[in-house]
Amino acid sequence: MLRTHTCGELNISHLGQTVTLCGWVQKSRDLGGTTFIDVRDRYGLTQLIFNTDTDATLREKSRELGREFVIKVTGNVIERASKNTKIPTGEIEIAVTDIEVLNAAKLPPFLIEDETDGGEELRAKYRYLDLRRNPIRNNLVLRHKMAQEVRKYLDKLDFIEVETPVLIKSTPEGARDFVVPSRMNAGEFYALPQSPQTFKQLLMVSGFDRYFQIVKCFRDEDLRADRQPEFTQIDCELSFVSQEDILNIFEGLTRHLFKTVKGIDLGEVPRMLYSDAMRLYGSDKPDVRFGMQFVELNDIVKGKGFSIFDNAELVVGINAKGCANYTRKQVDELTEWLKRPQIGVTGMIYCRYNEDGTLKSSVDKFYNEDELTNWAAAFGAEKGDLMLILAGGADKVRKQLNELRLEMGSRLGLRDKNTFAPLWVVDFPLLEWDEESGRYHAMHHPFTSPKPEDIALLDTEPGAVRANAYDLVINGTEIGGGSIRIHDRGLQSLMFKHLGFSPEEAQKQFGFLMDAFEYGAPPHGGIAFGFDRLASIFAGLDSIRDVIAFPKNNSGRDVMIDSPSTIAEAQMTELKIKTTV
């Protein structure tokens, strides 16, 4: 080793020792006849001292060192005159006796400090420099610890880690595939896996019983803060289990991670029906760190001559506690926020429960104070509260009110990143109607098993069929999801039929799986956790990018290596492909 210690290791117990450190120059301070240099590695930072009286030549050499120079220094550990209690090495410094420049460095394009002056795009271009900063490095260390704890927990429960292929077959369900041309099979393409779904089911057919994999997955879809074209899943599958078994095992994994990585006792994870989540929160991934549940008002507001309410399929609202003092300007600003195209509200009704006990609404022309008292009773409102109400088509208005609820939660400081509220959402619909294609699609994927008691509804009322499916939600973010799978050919064929596949299409796309079911497939089910999302929640981040070493931007580009890019014409010819761009 070039060094005897790391830059975060030395303390008062090492006084008098001669040590050698290697690292990067963090900063240099020239004070009269003395130069102080902070040298940094991934473990921490140590202060070096050079003094003209001790060695003038060495001190002059130290003054030539710039930020991010890679250096090797040898010296004696001495006690600092001015101690820094904020860092582990703050009681000592190194009186340097020898210095070697291992590599000089250009001046970095941004400060490599916890608080940097570099913008997001600049830091992405020089990601290898951004990764030197403590916040980013700490995120990746956190991710590493989480991965190790996942493996420890699952290994103790007899899970086997198995790698599945990355070059697979393109299938029509789910998001768009990334495709890879095959040189040896001209005109044919592999796809990169959106998940190892069929392979982990085949492992169950193979008798592996309990499988897991921390695996890369790929989806060609529009990006946002919690999406990347390539992402990582904790992928798991088990045989001879019920839904309850899976929820208990992976609730245990979640509690284990919170305890071992963050030191938090999470407690039991509550469960909520999908139907209740949509009715009370307008979302299948509700943030339950705060209340503000939906209150439906159809029975008490219709028939009073106010056409917006009378003509609406659903009138529904939330009670913003303590917000009756919102000014008209604040309410108007909130209404304009809701009118943005992303949300599409045409207007909002409000009612203040004033501190003097009076009720004042934006529709007083249609509703007297006695009627507004009924509103307040429905909301459980108290003096000082503000009732916010939307009206329209049921599905649309619930989604809009969900956005309003989350925004009010943020404005009122109710979405603390250091508070964690996990939730299982269960009994999802098996199918959802797609207006564009004019047919049903699998809400999760086509291998999800319907509730046995609902199978008869597939022919008569497919939209009412419930799935043996479940999602783990933390703080309003879907962290993981899974289901009990179909494990016999007959039911899988029926499922494909209701998804619009002809028998020939189903055989072409998924015949290998249905054929396998005829050789003694066990009942099985599983779950996949979004590892990037889980790590970002543990790190208190809104975006998953900073828990990924080399992420893509919102256009799916890696601006550091300039990818994607064109390839040589000779490669195109060899692959027998042409572009029409």
What residue numbers does the annotated binding site for L-aspartate cover? 173, 219, 444, 485
Measure the CA–CA gap between 313 and 395, rounded to whole angstroms. 9
CA 410, 414, 420, 426 torsion-angle sign: negative
Backbone angles phi, psi at 69, to 5 degrees: -60, 140
Element (H, E) at 481: strand 477-484
Measure the CA–CA gap between 355 and 371, rounded to whole angstroms. 18
Structure tokens at 190: 């592999």
Measure the CA–CA gap between 241 and 526, rounded to whole angstroms. 9
Measure the CA–CA gap between 111 and 86, rounded to whole angstroms. 20
Measure the CA–CA gap between 517 and 490, rounded to whole angstroms. 9
Measure the CA–CA gap between 60 and 340, rounded to whole angstroms. 61
Q: Are 78 and 97 in contact (CB under 8 A)?
A: no
Question: Residue 521, exposed/middle/buried by CB under 10 A (0-12, 13-18, 19+)?
Answer: buried
417 pairs with which residues across the strands?
A: none
Report H helices in 26-133.
52-62, 120-125, 127-130
**Binding region for ATP:** 219-221, 228, 478, 530-533
The angle, 0 to 180 degrees and rounded to 10, between the axes of the packed helices 328-338 and 394-411 is: 130
Measure the CA–CA gap between 112 and 129, rounded to whole angstroms. 7
Give Cα separations from 156 to 159, 160, 210 (angstroms): 7, 10, 11
Measure the CA–CA gap between 447 and 449, rounded to whole angstroms. 6
Residues in the chain, overall count? 581
Task: Select from 274, 287, 319, 291 the least CA-distant residue to 467.
Answer: 274
**Binding region:** 173, 219-221, 228, 444, 478, 485, 530-533
